[in-house]
Amino acid sequence: MKWRLLFSLVLLVIGSAGRLPAQSAAADKTAAGVRGTPLRDVAAPLRDVWLRFHETDLCLGLDTVFVFQPKGMEIWCRVEDEKSYQVLSALVEPLQHSYRIELYATHPNREKKPYTPEDNDPLPSLSNNAELRLYFRDPFYRSPGTDDLESLLRRDNIDPATKHSMKLFGDQILEWAQKMERLSRDLPSLAGAGYGANAVPGIQNRARGVCLEHVRDVGKYAERLAENLSHAFPRGAGRTPSPAPAKNARGGSVSPFDSALEISTKAQDLAQRVVVFLYPQAHTVNLADLRQPGLIDSLKALQKTASNFESNSQKSR
């Protein structure tokens, strides 16, 4: 009963966050991964469902929590892609007669608000971005140094083609950030099953393979975000020296397990920073942001850490 009450509240929070643009799934890190019985004590067919869920990238369309018992499981998910939900349902259906499997789902996309013309507008944080307007060659925009009345009046307008490009740009950035965050959430549980001290022999190799693929994709999205967001910053702004590769206390490279944890934490944090960039909560810069490395450099560092993960993981075999 406690699990059901807890996750009912979790799904309520996730569902509410999904309707607020400034609070994406990246903000909710506590609802990720697996809960309940340790994986090594879970029936093999149930573990197989969890692995196939990640092997087929269903995690990108379903914001999901697995709660395991030795002979059953509960799956709590916020459905963002109906086809992915149908595939998940098909995965668990053959096991329903042998195990107690309960699937709880919310479908926020079924409650979409009616269309309005403003839905085609780019976010204010993008349409007011001087670097982006110059990058997309907005004919209405002139340098802020031009102060004649005509330029000041035209500067508040935005060319329709530029507006459309900015809308697509913002949608793509948000999608990449959400996918990067979603892939990174279950890295701790996948790395634990594949590389941890309590690795599960029956699924160890598969868990390592899925973990590696997720890390590769996290690096891919970090690289795309860094490349595209660089157009929104003045040249050279926010640049900081790249951090040195992480070392353990004995001076060697970190283990694949610890590296996966680091990638998970950094990817979720950076995904949230991207969301805050798109949906700023204030017109001023938070002091905490000034103490952090620049967003672009942090994304590049994450991409490099992800690319190093494969070589480190091969050494541990």
- Amino acid 52 reads R
Q: Does residue 195 contact residue 317 with C-beta atoms inside 8 Å?
A: no
The 8-class DSSP code of residue 147 comes to -
57 shares its domain with 127: no
Residue that is written with structure tokens 């996966």 in the block: 260
Q: How far apart are CA 171 and CA 223, in angstroms?
A: 17
**Domain ends where: 113, 129, 146?**
113
pLDDT tens profile 228-262? 999 988 765 545 554 555 555 444 568 899 999 99
48 shares its domain with 9: yes
Provide the residue range defining the domain that includes 204: 121-241+252-317
pLDDT of residue 30: 34
101 shares its domain with 152: no
Q: How far apart are CA 37 and CA 71, in angstroms?
A: 10
Q: How many domains does the chain have?
A: 2
What the block records as the tokens of 33 is: 């991964």
The 8-class DSSP code of residue 129 comes to -
Q: Is the pTM of this model over 0.85?
A: no
**Domain ends where: 113, 138, 167?**
113
What the block records as the tokens of 289 is: 């942001």
pLDDT of residue 269: 96
41 shares its domain with 189: no
301 shares its domain with 191: yes
Q: How far apart are CA 218 and CA 190, in angstroms?
A: 14
pLDDT tens profile 131-184? 888 888 766 555 555 544 445 345 557 778 888 899 999 999 999 999 999 999
